[in-house]
A and B are shown apart, each in its own frame.
Chain A
Amino acid sequence: MPLYRTEGICLRSYELKEADRIVVLLTRDQGKVRAVAKGVRRPGSRLAGSLLPFTHSRLLLHRGRELDKVVQCEAVFGFRALREELERMAAASYLAELADGFLGEKDPNAGLFPSFLASLHLLAGHPDLRHALVLVQGLLLASLGYRPELDICVHCGADLEEGREAVVYHPGEGGVLCGRCGSERKGRGTMTISRGAWQTLRRLWATDPGRLTMLRPGKAVRGEMETLLRATMIHRLERRPKTLDFLDLVLRESE
């Protein structure tokens, strides 16, 4: 069947010819899909409003050889705050860039869509955006299977010792190092985080996504979590996300 129905979230779009756009969609059951939206840049296009970035919509798509085509589209939820509040828009752009960068085309991932949708709700509505950013990065890594190893040393497999001293984390190796391996590799792509941040990260990935907002790290711990999550994203993406400069700029100005 060349026609198929799905739900999707527009991650971004590119202008195409005079009045069209290529939209990059995260769909519920087809993974990432690139589709042409005809005439969507003309005023009054029926498709335009429901294909704005970060809009959750119901779609009827036509499968094509290179690109699919949007036949019908109806918005389910518009996430206006993500387009009309600068900090939230920047945060959603960051999340969308990550999802777009991590996903191959039409590689279904059943857990990702609901988790991404929950993340957009957090970014749109959470009273503390920096807090929400930590949560959504955690959710994204978990649903992609990129959750770092925090319990045992990724190098020698030893359980992480109890204690109060800082924990060594290696984004490149995807987890923590024990005291011995950590001191051997110090400075070679490692970073250290406090026990508090380590504990909170473990709790972040052990908590049911629906209850994540109960997790309320203090400012210092949250900053450490953010640093670790970003380093992990950059390592996985193999580049610095383009959206980060703008995100940092608007977050700094809103302080």
Chain B
Amino acid sequence: MLYPKTIARLIEELCSLPGVGPKTAQRLAFHLLREKPERVEALAAAMLEAKQRIFSCGVCQNLTDVEPCLLCADPARDRSSILVVEEPKDVLALERTGEYRGSYHVLHGVISPMDGIGPGALRIGELLERLKDGGVKEVILATNPDVEGEATALYMARLIRPLGVRTTRIARGIPVGGDLDYADEVTLARALEGRREVG
């Protein structure tokens, strides 16, 4: 079907978003065209403002609109421990647990050889920089427990250990509320490895 140029362009731009195929892009485009002008303006303004005002924190690389970010500026956070995650959304997930009081480092990605993404594309150098002054006692690697996340953790552990900083990996095992019988053998094997004393 042939659309006016402006609609075709909108569809094309929407198509470049992750997870949006041509059909979804078309649906979104027509949805926007049906909306009141002020709704569309608000959306466009929000996108633009976020893009203009958000940058990565010079310390932890998390997305922020102040430098350093609120977490890095918080005097109550323990700076001797850095928890390394793949994406900003992982920081939110960990903060929701209320369990962790240290600081973070966001890699903005993960080593993915099949996609041609190597360690150079991640914020690893910035992390090593933070370890230089000796104040950090532990780095906790909390990348996802998939192949890419494992590879990234292994690679980073290799770089960090020689610096004499304790390097740990988050435990993996049976999910809460899960059935032993329901777990696959890899998960079971790891859960067994990660066992600890009770009582």
Contacts and interface: CB of A to CB of B under 8 A. Distances in A.
Interface of A: 12, 17, 43-44, 46, 48-50, 52-54, 75, 78, 80, 83-86, 89-90, 93-94, 96-97, 242-243, 245-247, 249-250, 253
Contacts of A243: 113-114, 116
B124 to A, nearest CB: 12
B182 interface: yes
A43 B147 CA distance: 15
A93 B116 CA distance: 11
9 contacts: A43-B178, A46-B182, A48-B187, A49-B186, A75-B186, A84-B150, A89-B113, A89-B151, A242-B116
Nearest to B19: A17
Interface of B: 19, 111, 113-116, 118-119, 146-147, 150-151, 154-155, 158, 175, 177-178, 182-187, 189
Contacts of B115: 242
Contacts of A80: 186, 189
Contacts, number: 71
Contact of A75 (B175, B178, B182, B184): B184
Given A90-B113, A242-B115, A53 B184 contact: no
A96 B112 CA distance: 13
B182 A52 contact: no
A89 B155 CA distance: 11
B150 A83 contact: yes
Contacts of A54: 147
A26 B179 CA distance: 30
Nearest to A48: B184
A53 B155 CA distance: 18
Given A96-B114, A246-B118, A253-B158, A52 B19 contact: no
Given A84-B150, A86-B158, A90-B151, 6 more contacts: A48-B184, A50-B184, A75-B186, A83-B147, A97-B113, A242-B115
Given A44-B175, A53-B147, A246-B113, A78 B185 contact: yes
Nearest to B187: A49
Contacts of A78: 185-186
Contact of A242 (B19, B114, B178, B182): B114
Nearest to A253: B158
A12 B146 CA distance: 11
A75 B114 contact: no
A48 B19 CA distance: 21
A245 B116 contact: yes
A240 B189 CA distance: 37
Nearest to A86: B154
Nearest to A246: B113
Contacts of B184: 46, 48-50, 75
